[in-house]
């Protein structure tokens, strides 16, 4: 089974301007702040403390109008309404869907809550630095996930299976790069 590190496509002409922590600080939302701070170790749902906010795309080139259907935003996936309709059923068991408006249009932040166990016999950590040098997921841990995180990696990145890649290709969903090198965190 193929696993991919999810990244924003290199040709993306925009980035999302939305600071969840700043928003929580401004509203003095301590429940949201606590959950955000501990989301790597204890991914409690946010839905009960979530208030739909507004974000905007910041374009690198003023003449560009291309916005992605899906984008990686930290440990979240940002989905436009078309992408959400196409992936909701497949991702529902592994993510929490949180409403958001982006440039006035409905969108969804998909907060990934699931983990895929790493294969300890193949995952390697540098004994000198403690850094991961190889990350391999255990094929025996397959539970039908399409998107997930890695605890050993630190829960900072998102990973996906071939199923999500195939759906994006077949439906023409733009915005994600599927990197087979699970530790290649930089856009190449």
- Indicate the pTM of the whole model: 0.84
pLDDT given for residue 187 in this prediction? 46
Residue 184 falls inside a structural domain: no
Residue 186 falls inside a structural domain: no
Task: Tell me which residue range forms the domain holding 44.
Answer: 3-179
Phi, psi of 165 (to 5 degrees): -60, -45
Residue 188 falls inside a structural domain: no
How many structural domains compose the chain?
1
Of 157 and 60, the one with more pLDDT: 157
Residue 62 falls inside a structural domain: yes
pLDDT greater than 90 at residue 49: no
How does pLDDT run across 94-125, given as a tens digit for each residue?
999 999 999 899 999 998 988 888 888 988 88
Is there a contact between 100 and 54 (Cβ–Cβ < 8 Å)? Answer: yes
Is there a contact between 187 and 159 (Cβ–Cβ < 8 Å)? Answer: no
Residue 66 falls inside a structural domain: yes
Q: What percent of the chain has pLDDT over 70?
A: 85
Average pLDDT, the chain: 83
pLDDT given for residue 164 in this prediction? 96
Q: Nearest to residue 173, comparing CAs of 154, 160, 182, 155?
A: 160
Q: Please give the structure tokens belonging to residue 140.
A: 């025996």
Residue 59 falls inside a structural domain: yes
Residue 119 falls inside a structural domain: yes
pLDDT greater than 50 at residue 8: yes
How does pLDDT run across 132-181, given as a tens digit for each residue?
888 888 888 877 889 998 888 867 889 999 999 999 999 999 999 999 98
pLDDT given for residue 188 in this prediction? 41
Residue 174 falls inside a structural domain: yes
């Amino acid at each position: 089974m193929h696993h991919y590190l999810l990244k924003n496509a290199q040709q993306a002409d925009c980035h999302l301007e939305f600071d969840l922590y700043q928003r929580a600080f401004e509203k003095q939302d301590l429940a949201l702040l606590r959950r955000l701070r501990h989301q790597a170790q204890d991914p409690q749902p946010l839905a009960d403390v979530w208030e739909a906010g507004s974000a905007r795309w910041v374009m690198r080139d003023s003449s560009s109008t291309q916005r992605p259907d899906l984008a990686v935003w930290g440990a979240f996936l940002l989905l436009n309404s078309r992408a959400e309709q196409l992936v909701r059923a497949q991702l529902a068991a592994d993510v929490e869907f949180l409403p958001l408006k982006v440039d006035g249009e409905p969108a969804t932040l998909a907060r990934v809550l699931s983990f895929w166990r790493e294969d300890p016999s193949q995952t390697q950590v540098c004994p000198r630095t403690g850094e991961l040098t190889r990350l391999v997921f255990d094929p025996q841990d397959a539970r039908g996930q399409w998107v997930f995180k890695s605890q050993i990696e630190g829960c900072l990145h998102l990973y996906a299976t071939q199923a999500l890649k195939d759906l994006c290709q077949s439906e023409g969903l733009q915005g994600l790069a599927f990197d087979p090198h699970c530790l290649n965190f930089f856009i190449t």
